[in-house]
C-alpha cells in the first residue's frame, strides 16, 4: 500500500492563498532572496521553513520594516543563529518604535491644525 501522507509543502497557489498575497508579490520575494522554494520543473513548493519566513516577512512589513531590513535580519539567523537575531530584532524594534512615536506626533499635530482650520472656516459661514 502506497504512503498517503500529504505533502507538508504548499504549492505556489496555496502559498498565495494562505498569506493573501499576489503571485507577483510571492515571485518578488523569491527574486530578492527572501524565500527559497523547492523547484520541481516550473513548479514551486514551500516547506515549513518558507512558511515561517513568510510569516516573519509579513509581520515585519506590518510594522513598517523595509524588505531589505527583513532580508538582512533573516540572514542573521542563517549565519549567526537565534540569539544574535533576537538581539538585532530588539535594536530594530526600538528604532522603529521611535520612528512610529515621531510619526504619531506629526499626525496629532496635523490633526490639531486641521481641526483649527476647520473651526475657523466654520465660523466664517453664516448660520
Residue 3: the pLDDT is 58
| SS3 (DSSP) at 39 | strand
Residue 94: the pLDDT is 97
Average of per-residue pLDDT values in the chain:
93
Q: Which fold has domain 10-124?
A: Multidrug-efflux Transporter Regulator; Chain: A; Domain 2 (1.10.1660)
Q: Where are the domains of the chain?
A: 10-124
pLDDT at 32 over 60: yes
Partners of 43 in the β-ladder: 40
What distance in Å separates the CA atoms of residue 105 and residue 68, rounded to the nearest whole number?
A: 26
Q: What are phi and psi of 44, to 5 degrees?
A: -120, 140
What's the pTM?
0.80
pLDDT at 14 over 70: yes
Q: Quick one: average pLDDT of 40-63?
A: 95
pLDDT at 2 over 60: no
For residue range 59-91, list pLDDT tens digits in order: 999 999 999 999 999 999 888 989 999 999 999
Residue 78: the pLDDT is 84
What distance in Å separates the CA atoms of residue 51 and residue 58, rounded to the nearest whole number?
A: 11
Q: Give the pLDDT band of residue 1 (cuts 50, 70, 90).
A: low
Amino acid at each position: 500500500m502506497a504512503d498517503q501522507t500529504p505533502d507538508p509543502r504548499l504549492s505556489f497557489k496555496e502559498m498565495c492563498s494562505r498569506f493573501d498575497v499576489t503571485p507577483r508579490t510571492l515571485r518578488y520575494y523569491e527574486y530578492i532572496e527572501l524565500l527559497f522554494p523547492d523547484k520541481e520543473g516550473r513548479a514551486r513548493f514551500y516547506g515549513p521553513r518558507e512558511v515561517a519566513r513568510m510569516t516573519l516577512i509579513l509581520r515585519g512589513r506590518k510594522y513598517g520594516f523595509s524588505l531589505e531590513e527583513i532580508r538582512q535580519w533573516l540572514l542573521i539567523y542563517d549565519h549567526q543563529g537565534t540569539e544574535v537575531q533576537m538581539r538585532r530584532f530588539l535594536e530594530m524594534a526600538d528604532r522603529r518604535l521611535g520612528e512610529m512615536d515621531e510619526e504619531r506626533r506629526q499626525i496629532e499635530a496635523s490633526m490639531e491644525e486641521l481641526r483649527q482650520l476647520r473651526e475657523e472656516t466654520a465660523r466664517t459661514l453664516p448660520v
